[in-house]
Amino acid sequence: MLTGRRLLITGVVTKDSIAFAVARRAQELGAETVLTGFGRGRRMTERAAKTLPVPAEVLELDVNRPEDIAAVADDLRARWGAVDGVLHAIAFAPSDALGGNFMSAPAASAEEAFRTSAYSLKALAQGLLPLMSGRDAAIVGLDFDASVAWPVYDWMGVAKAALESVSRYLARDLGPERVRVNLVSAGPLETLAAGGIPGFERLASGWDAQAPLGWDITDPAPVAEAVCFLLSARALGITGEILHVDGGYHAVGAPL
């Protein structure tokens, strides 16, 4: 499904990362992959990258630094000449903007959550657009349903709502460039990032009971399959979409 497609995968920290599951499945489906990491966490990304079916190189990328995005674009231009797909798996909110601190969070923390988790999708798309334009390329972001308010998610939930809106405007503006932009709204999964959300277990508990299909918080495979589909040429007519991969939880108003 992805044979010959060249993909940039962000957001891999450990082998438990959703982005790692995407990178592994994408390689199994024939894609070439390059990963990104930054700062002290880059060493963890590099260790995970070595365990992929085809060990992948890791590029430095702090998505809030325009010079990093430009350097990644230059590397991919020299390496491949073009890019067929990007996974945006980047999100962050300071601790004082999570865990029940919605009312007390300072503006600076809310702004940091927005910039890193939502504006970064536009920044990355803009930086890589010259390598993707006219190629029926795809950008896929990882989302968590922002249509409702969740316990403890607070300003990250607001940032995800912004991410959903950013993806729609990008779909509008990049469609004429033959670049698709979609999101996958995943159910809760046990990852390093999830562990950084105070009270994450409150979000995850009971999900399996309410989801019509059930939900395994330790298995990112269903999410990876959906991402790979949207990155592939089989999704050529799909853009501006939010695909829920959550066992059907979003469609049910109360526990079954």
- The CATH number given to whatever domain includes residue 54 is 3.40.50.720
Whether 235 maps to a domain, the answer reads: yes
Predicted pLDDT of residue 144:
95
Whether 254 maps to a domain, the answer reads: no
The gap between the terminal CA atoms of the chain, to the nearest Å, is: 36
Over residues 104-144, the pLDDT tens digits come to 999 999 999 999 999 999 999 999 999 999 999 999 999 99
Predicted pLDDT of residue 205:
76
What total of structural domains would you count in the chain?
1
Q: Which two tokens stand for residue 253?
A: 């108003």
Q: What is the mean pLDDT of residues 176-205?
A: 83
Whether 34 maps to a domain, the answer reads: yes
Residue with tokens 């992805």: 2
Q: Which residues belong to the active site? A: 153, 160
Predicted pLDDT of residue 196:
67
Whether 30 maps to a domain, the answer reads: yes
Over residues 210-251, the pLDDT tens digits come to 899 999 999 999 999 999 999 999 999 999 999 999 999 999
Over residues 79-103, the pLDDT tens digits come to 999 999 999 999 999 999 999 999 9
pLDDT band for 200, please (50, 70, 90 cuts).
Answer: confident
Residue type, 114: F
Are 132 and 124 within 8 A, CB to CB? no
Please give the radius of gyration of the chain, using alpha carbons only, rounded to the nearest integer. Answer: 17
DSSP string, 95-112: GGGSTT-TTT--HHHHHH
Range of the domain at 110: 6-248
Whether 256 maps to a domain, the answer reads: no
Name the pTM for this structure.
Answer: 0.95
Over residues 40-65, the pLDDT tens digits come to 999 999 999 999 999 999 999 999 99
